Structures are given as C-alpha cells and as structure tokens.
Amino acid sequence: MVSDGILRMGATLRQHALRYPQKMAVVFEDKGLTYQQFNGRVNRLAQSLLSLGLGQGDKVATLTFNCPEVLEVYLASAKIGAVAVPLNGELKDEEIRYILDHSDSRVLVLGKEFQEKAPFLMSRLGKVKAYLALGEEPEGEGLLSYERFLAEATEREPEVVLSETLPGMIFYTSGSMGFPKGVVRSHRANVLAYLYGAVEFGLTERDIGLCACPLHRAGSALISLMSLYLGGTVCLLKGFSPARALQAIQQEKVTFSLMTPQMFDALRMLSETGVKEYDVSSLRSLISSMAPLLTRAKEWVLGYFKGVQLYEAYEATELGFCTILKPADQRRKVRCVGQPTLGYEVMLLDEKGREASASEAGELFARGPCLFSEYYNDPKATAANSRGEWFSVGDIMCRDAEGYYYIVERRPDRVCVDESELYPSEIHRVIMSHPKVKEAAIFPVPSGRWGEAFQALVVLKEGETATEGELMAYCQDKLSTFQRPQAIDFIGELPRHHTGKMLKRTFREKYWQEQEGMNPPTSSLSPGP
C-alpha cells in the first residue's frame, strides 16, 4: 500500500504483524487471530477485491452480526481505497435495498443469518456484482464462499496509491424525514479520532477491548479500529448479552469497553439475580455513549466495577466523540456530557445565529479534523446543517461557568437507542396509518432500559376502541425492533396552543418526572412552546 499521507486506516496493521506476529489481534468465540494471521487474511481479501476490478471509491457493504470478517472488510477496503458500508441487520428488507442502491455498493458480504435475503436483493439490485457468504459453503444461487474467495489470493500487501483524504467508510443513519443518510468519514477523520481518543481514554497497545456494540455503528467501529491501529486486542461479541459480556471480561482479562446505558442496565439486572459472580477486576476503563447515564445507573456502574475509570461521551456519527465527561467529574457533574474532546472546537448558537452566553441554551456546532466529510450524494442535507467549517446535528445544549456542556433537547426530537439515531417521523407515519387512529404524538422520554426512547400518545377516532397491544402488534409488522416506541398511551385530546401548535412539553412532563423527578429541559430554541 502506497500513500501520499500517513493517516490511513490500515497503515499500522503491517507494522503490528511484523512487530507482534504472535500477539492476538482479534478474539471471537474462544478463537483468535494473531496479527500475522489477521493481516494475512486482510491482504488476501484486498487482493481478491482488486481481482474483481474494485478500486478507489468502490463500495463494499457488510450485512452480518459481529465477527472478525467485518473488521477484515473494513481494513481490506481501506488498503485498496475502497469504502466500507456497514448495514444494520435489524432493518427491513426494503430499507437494506435502499441503502445498497443509494450507496452504489458493488460487493455485499452476508452473514449466515442474512443469506436468505439474497434472492430478494439480487432481484432488485443491478449494481451489486458479488455476494460473498460467510460460514459454511453457501447453498443459495449466486452466493460466493467468502473463505474460497480469500483462498484464491495471495497475502502480498496491495500496492495502491492512496490519499488520507479519501472516504474510508459510509455509515447510514436514520433520516429526520425517514430516509437514511450516508455519513462519509475519511481515512484522516477516522485515524485522528483513533489518536485523540487514545489520549483521552488513556488507551495503548497493551489494552484489550471488549466490542459489545454492533460494528455497523460508528462509535463501536471507531473504538475497535482504534484498538487495532494501536496494536491492542479486540475481543468481539457476536451479539450483546450481559452474561457473555461479563464472561468475556473475566476470561480475556478485558481492560476497557464501550457500552450504552441499556447495556449497563442489563448488566445490573443480571448481577442482582446473584446467579454467578464474575471477576471483572481487569477492567480499567468504561465508556458510556449515545445517551446520558441516569444517576442511579451511574452509581451502580461505579459500585459494581470497583476502581473503574468511567467516561461519558457525547457522540454523533457525523461528529465522532465530540465531548467527554472525565472520571473525576462523574459525581460532580450530573447529566453532563463534559467538555470538548481533543481536536474539537464547539460553539452554541441561539435562534438568531449569535453565540450563546454561559448558561444560555443554543444549538451545538462543532468543527475539527475528526468530523465527517459529507452526506453521500446529498449536498443539500450537508449544506443545510453546515456553517462553513462548523457542523450541527441539531442538538440543543447549554454550558455552565466551568465550560461543561449539558444536553437540553435533541432536535428534531432525535433519540439514540442502542447506538442508533432515530427520528419520530417513521413511527408517526405507521401509527397514523392504523384505521382506528385519529391523531398521534411521538416524543422522546428518558428510559431506564434504553437511556432514551420514543413514547406515543394516541387519540382514537370517535367510537373506536383499541389497546396498546393492538397498536404495538401493528407497529411490529412495519417497523424494525429498535424503531418501535417503548410504550403507547391513549388520550382524549392532544393539548394545543391557540394557534393550533401541539404543546408537546405539556404531556412530556409526566414522563420525565416519573424517571428522575425532573421536568423536561426547556430552551428558547425548542420546537414546541
């Protein structure tokens, strides 16, 4: 691999294979790949992709649960200038088809559990030229064996001229209007995120990281690729379960992990059963992301993982880890997302575009080398959220006198569930399509399980009756698991302003008070009065 810059995603893998040939790079289901083995497989995949005619800018998509092959795809693509496109397996078939078509993907790597989708996708996609099947010899027509694909190539390092400014990955996020948007992240942005993150979280080549979150999500991918860039070890879970996570920490002597509030809640519930005690003393650092930890959840984490350094990170796919609350501030700063990460500048703008003063709420804009490049094939969306070098995902924050930031409100009613960014528009569309529903309001609320979730309030048509279970079943047929509301309540009439505008804050209040005895945050920039 030849380059005109040093900040490339796969740049250090060859060095680690030479320096630590027998060191474990990836551990998965009691098996492991050394750096020598892992780099060899990455190179075989890179050479095989080149033999298909793939090169700079071509897209290689993955649709599978966590496994070493996902990381192989990410790094093999990076070595030849191709672009990895991770897909969320919980999406409906039509959503998967849309993303593959929109991203111009030419190769799709399918996990065993997703190979049944191949006939549907093959019949509707003309751009995908090869479908690579993981696992045993594939049975479906048109599927190529991933292992056979690798076996036919050499382990020679690919000699491709690359620039660090090239796209390295495209992550698809839920769109505010229901259409997923492709977030393009360059090699340079990702590698600088590794380096700044390593400094902030205190990570080195001696660390063993547990990847408990799905690798199709930006935060999880960045943390895992950071470990490999540094020469550390990644311990992969195929899917999260609290018992598997604790067993892996004990068995592999894990030293750090990125988790979400709902994962911590699942760990707490397991620990309270008293079924088994685990040795988690090797764990040195924990990173919580996607939603602020509720106070009681934070206290449990600090009590169960004794001596652990807990970090909370405000993260968005477009921004990366934008702010961090350090361990020393965890009890001092309640529901706080910390201060700007190394490499970031942050400012808050009020509704008139002026910089907000201390304690005044404003829309958060960030700039720095770790930000994404653009929304793929969507210049209007990129421009709509940009102010020169500054970019915003629409979240409203305030800053205290010490320069610490707090989320006041996500706009437009965005929530983060299991490391996915979701909007209410799709839920609203589905519920309103039910023949008994007259009106509905969908809004974010705190969730003890998820950190954040959507709540639905429904007004039925006159003379109609329905149950929560009935509407939940209706949503189940039309929405992916992580897209559904956590609960549906019924109301006779939705409160409105005299102008006809819905008073969301009025009915949200109840749900905030039930969680932490607090009122919903307010802001002059809030979409509701």
Q: What's the whole-model pTM score?
A: 0.83
pLDDT tens column, 296-314: 889 999 999 999 999 999 9
Across 131-142, average pLDDT: 90
- Which pLDDT belongs to residue 184? 99
How distant, in Å, are the alpha carbons of 68, 111, 201 from that of 134? 11, 5, 34
Q: What is the mean pLDDT of residues 461-473?
A: 94
CA 301, distance to chain mean position in Å, is 21
Distances (CA, A) of 526 to 154, 249, 349, 387, 397: 57, 42, 13, 20, 11
- Taking 70 as the threshold, does the pLDDT of residue 451 lie above it? no
The percentage of the chain sitting over the pLDDT mark of 90, rounded to a whole number, equals 70
Does residue 524 register a pLDDT over 60? no
Q: Is pLDDT of 423 > 90?
A: no
DSSP 273: H
* pLDDT, mean over the chain: 89
Domains in the chain and their CATH numbers?
2-397 (3.40.50.12780), 422-516 (3.30.300.30)
Distance CA 447, CA 144 (A): 43
Rounded mean pLDDT of 485-507?
73
294 — pLDDT class (breaks 50, 70, 90): confident
Output the pLDDT for position 481.
76
Least confident of 60-64, 518-522, 523-527: 523-527
Q: Does 208 have pLDDT greater than 60?
A: yes
Asked whether the predicted pLDDT for residue 520 surpasses 50, the reply is: no
Band of pLDDT at residue 521, cut at 50, 70 and 90:
very low
pLDDT tens-digit map of 373-413: 999 999 999 999 999 999 999 888 999 999 999 988 766 55
pLDDT, position 100? 98
Asked whether the predicted pLDDT for residue 507 surpasses 70, the reply is no
Residue 337's pLDDT is 94
pLDDT in tens, 25-60: 999 998 999 999 999 999 999 999 999 999 999 999
Q: Is the distance from CB of 217 to CB of 194 less than 8 angstroms?
A: no
Q: Give the Cα separation of 133 and 137 in Å (integer).
A: 8
pLDDT at 508: 66
489, 457 in Cβ contact below 8 A? yes
The pLDDT tens digits for 65-95 are: 999 999 999 999 999 999 999 999 988 899 9
- Stretch 152-179: mean pLDDT: 87
